[in-house]
Amino acid sequence: MIPTTYKEYYGDETRWFIGVVKDINDPIELGRVKVRIFGVHSENVQDISDGDLPWAQVAVPITEGGSSGIGTNIGIKPQAQVYGIFLDGKNSQLPLVLGSIPKFERIPDIDLNTSSAVPDQTQRPSLTGSPHDFTNPNYEDPDNKFLVGSTNVEKAFNFFLTPEGGSFTPAQACGILGNFWIESAANITGDLNTKATSAPPERSFGIAQWNSSSNAGYRYQNL
């Protein structure tokens, strides 16, 4: 079929895409990534493997140098959901990533599509009869289930790596614990002190020193 229109300039016809990053190890260290693009690349790796995906260039902010190796490293990680355009239009062989789109990493605990899923129920479901109901004979102590380790800092580190603790990376968990270490004076006691309190009149409590004042939004009481 003969096209009815003629495109004089390649930018006259663009194609947008959304995909998932599969590889960030650019052999020529230009910050390129390999993206499995929805509607273009099959989800079946038998049809096209991650290694056969084309390298996508990544747009960087104008605050970066952009030449002669000046600037920071690209921060996109594997499994990130990204969007962009194909520089070659419908040929779809020259992808350019423009940004990333946040997404859920795991399925929510409840069905958010049901008519009963109003905000309060979504965020604070009833605990009656649930595994977290202390009156439930099948109740399992979360301290024994999730806090594994010989010290408080080890228990907290292991907890933050679990889905229940936020599925943080080891580096992120260490960042959180670094704050707790100072807040609870662990640099003096040698371990996270869950009973740490500040001197009056501040009145802050616990490993993160939750403050009880109205100026702090009653963080301790809300906790």
Predicted confidence at residue 210, as pLDDT, reads 83
Predicted confidence at residue 124, as pLDDT, reads 40
Round to whole Å and give the CA distance between 73 and 93: 24
Residue 92's pLDDT band (cuts 50, 70, 90) = confident
Write out the residue limits of the CATH 2.40.50.260 domain(s) in the chain. Answer: 14-100
Please determine, for residue 60, whether its predicted confidence score (pLDDT) is greater than 50: yes
Predicted TM-score of the model (pTM): 0.45
Count of other CB atoms within 10 angstroms of residue 156: 20
What value does the mean pLDDT of the chain take?
A: 77
Report the percent of the chain where pLDDT is more than 90.
14
Predicted confidence at residue 34, as pLDDT, reads 94
Predicted confidence at residue 141, as pLDDT, reads 62
* Residue range 176-189, pLDDT digits in tens: 988 888 888 887 88
Contact 208, 217 (CB under 8 A): no
Peptide bond into 201 cis (omega under 30): yes
* Residue range 13-26, pLDDT digits in tens: 788 999 999 998 88
Does the domain formed by 14-100 have CATH 3.10.20.30?
no
Please determine, for residue 123, whether its predicted confidence score (pLDDT) is greater than 50: no
Which residue from 11, 53, 48, 10 is spatially nearest to 32, judged by alpha carbons?
53
Predicted confidence at residue 135, as pLDDT, reads 54
Please determine, for residue 205, whether its predicted confidence score (pLDDT) is greater than 60: yes
CA dihedral 78, 83, 84, 90 (to 10 degrees): 100
Predicted confidence at residue 69, as pLDDT, reads 61
* Residue range 151-180, pLDDT digits in tens: 888 888 888 888 888 888 989 989 998 888
Which residue from 192, 174, 176, 175 is spatially nearest to 184, judged by alpha carbons?
192
Predicted confidence at residue 119, as pLDDT, reads 40
